[in-house]
């Protein structure tokens, strides 16, 4: 069985690593890897391959950055002749980035069976490009592998036949649990000049937060209050750095002594900082899941989440992007409020095994 696995951006790498490792265990599977090049920064691509022991891609489309439409179109144009040449028995896509949807469309047009890992997640907010990517990919997939029970219910409600839906757990947690011992053996926080549990970690990248100057400025207002209580480490996504500069907010930010900008981090460094943080503030979906497993309080700077299990069973709380709500959430954590910290069902490090077993069975 020749299986093409598609990756394109940082969130994909942690998901594809355990799948590729599991596929390579079987002589009846020929796993090939295509990197679309959607993320081309070294710390957001090459370094992840090295840290997670992902094999060198068999093909790299080197698409690079652009608008959503341009990037999707370029991936499709480059991928179609390649899939036509290689003729795989299946295409596997993960997550919800532009590469995921583009590859799904090409595979469907070429009548190649399609598997979607992390299917069924819904924020019910179509202003999010990821929501569109998820819905289109799920509507085309032949195998839909879900991470939580809500995903199964969403897909059934959308008319997906039950025999296509497989609840298998979370492959990203496979990667986290495999790397956990390594990061526990190192005091990564000390390398950044902070002590464990004495700092907050912030990430921002969603258009709703960084593309609107007023919203971005309001989040920085919250950080101005927060950094007086504990240092805030802020690894800057390249796009976020660009938006802060365009909005003229670097001058404002640089007056805040304990809001510390960092370069984009590799997986191990970021995971280490997250595991030792007092709290995490983010608009990332994957980080909501990782903090749940790590037991770290997470404030999500959004009005919705496609991962409700991180709220009902995990450590996540939605606080939106208004400064007063963010500050109130921070104060609740500093006052000792604890969320749930149980592991959601099947988030046990064996999701990739379940997925590959199902693929081999078919």
Res 43: pLDDT = 57
Q: Is-catalytic flag, 205?
A: yes
**Smallest Cα–Cα separation from 359: which of 49, 141, 155?**
141
H, E, C per residue of 189-218: HHHCCCCCCCCEEECCCCHHHHCCHHHHHH
CB 128 within 8 A of CB 146: no
pLDDT given for residue 45 in this prediction:
73
Kindly report the pTM of this predicted structure: 0.95
Edge-to-edge strands, sheet with 259-262: 259-262, 232-235, 200-202, 279-282, 298-300, 316-318
Residues for the chain: how many in total?
Answer: 362
Nearest to 94 by CA among 84, 104, 82: 104
pLDDT value at residue 36: 95
Query: Under a CB-based contact definition with an 8 Å cutoff, are residues 285 and 305 in contact?
Result: yes
Torsion of CA 99, 43, 178, 94, to 10 degrees: 0
Local confidence pLDDT in tens for the 362 residues of the chain: 999 999 998 889 999 999 999 999 999 999 999 999 987 665 567 788 989 999 999 999 999 888 999 999 999 999 999 999 999 999 999 999 999 999 999 999 999 999 999 999 999 999 999 999 999 999 999 999 999 999 999 999 999 999 999 999 999 999 999 998 888 778 899 999 999 999 999 999 999 999 999 999 999 999 999 999 999 999 998 889 999 999 999 988 889 999 999 998 989 999 999 999 999 999 999 999 999 999 999 999 999 999 999 999 999 999 999 999 999 999 999 999 876 678 999 999 999 999 999 999 98
C-alpha to C-alpha distance for 325 and 209, rounded to whole angstroms: 14
Catalytic annotation, pick one of 205, 343, 350, 362: 205
Domains and CATH numbers, the chain: 2-169+347-361 (3.40.50.2000), 185-334 (3.40.50.2000)
């Amino acid at each position: 069985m020749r299986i093409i696995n598609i990756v394109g951006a940082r969130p994909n790498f942690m998901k594809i690593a355990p799948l590729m490792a599991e596929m390579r265990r079987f002589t009846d599977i020929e796993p090939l890897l295509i990197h679309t090049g959607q993320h081309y920064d070294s710390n957001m691509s090459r370094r992840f391959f090295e840290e997670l022991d992902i094999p060198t891609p068999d093909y790299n489309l080197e698409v690079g950055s652009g608008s959503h439409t341009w990037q999707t179109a370029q991936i499709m144009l480059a991928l179609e002749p390649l899939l036509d040449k290689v003729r795989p028995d299946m295409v596997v896509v993960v997550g919800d980035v532009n590469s995921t949807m583009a590859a799904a469309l090409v595979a469907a047009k070429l009548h190649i069976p399609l598997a979607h890992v992390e299917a069924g997640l819904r924020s019910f907010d179509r202003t999010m490009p990821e929501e569109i990517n998820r819905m289109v990919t799920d509507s085309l997939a032949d195998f839909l592998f879900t991470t939580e029970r809500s995903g199964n219910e969403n897909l059934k409600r959308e008319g997906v036949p039950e025999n296509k839906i497989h609840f298998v757990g979370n492959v990203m947690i496979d990667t986290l649990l495999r790397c956990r011992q390594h990061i526990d053996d190192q005091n990564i926080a000390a390398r950044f000049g902070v002590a464990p549990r004495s700092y907050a970690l912030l990430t921002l990248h969603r258009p709703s937060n960084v593309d609107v100057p007023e919203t971005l400025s309001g989040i920085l207002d919250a950080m101005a209050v927060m950094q007086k209580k504990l240092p805030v480490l802020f690894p800057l996504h390249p796009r976020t750095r660009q938006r802060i500069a365009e909005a003229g907010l670097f001058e404002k930010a640089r007056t805040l002594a304990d809001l510390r900008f960092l370069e984009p981090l590799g997986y191990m460094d970021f995971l280490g900082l997250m595991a030792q943080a007092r709290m995490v503030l983010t608009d990332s979906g994957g980080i909501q899941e990782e903090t749940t497993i790590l037991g770290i309080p997470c404030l999500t700077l959004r009005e919705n989440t496609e991962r409700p299990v991180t709220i009902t069973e995990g450590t996540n709380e939605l606080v939106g992007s208004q400064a007063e709500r963010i500050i109130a959430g921070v104060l609740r954590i500093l006052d000792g409020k604890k969320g749930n910290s149980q592991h959601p069902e099947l988030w046990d490090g064996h999701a990739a095994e379940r997925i590959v077993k199902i693929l081999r069975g078919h």
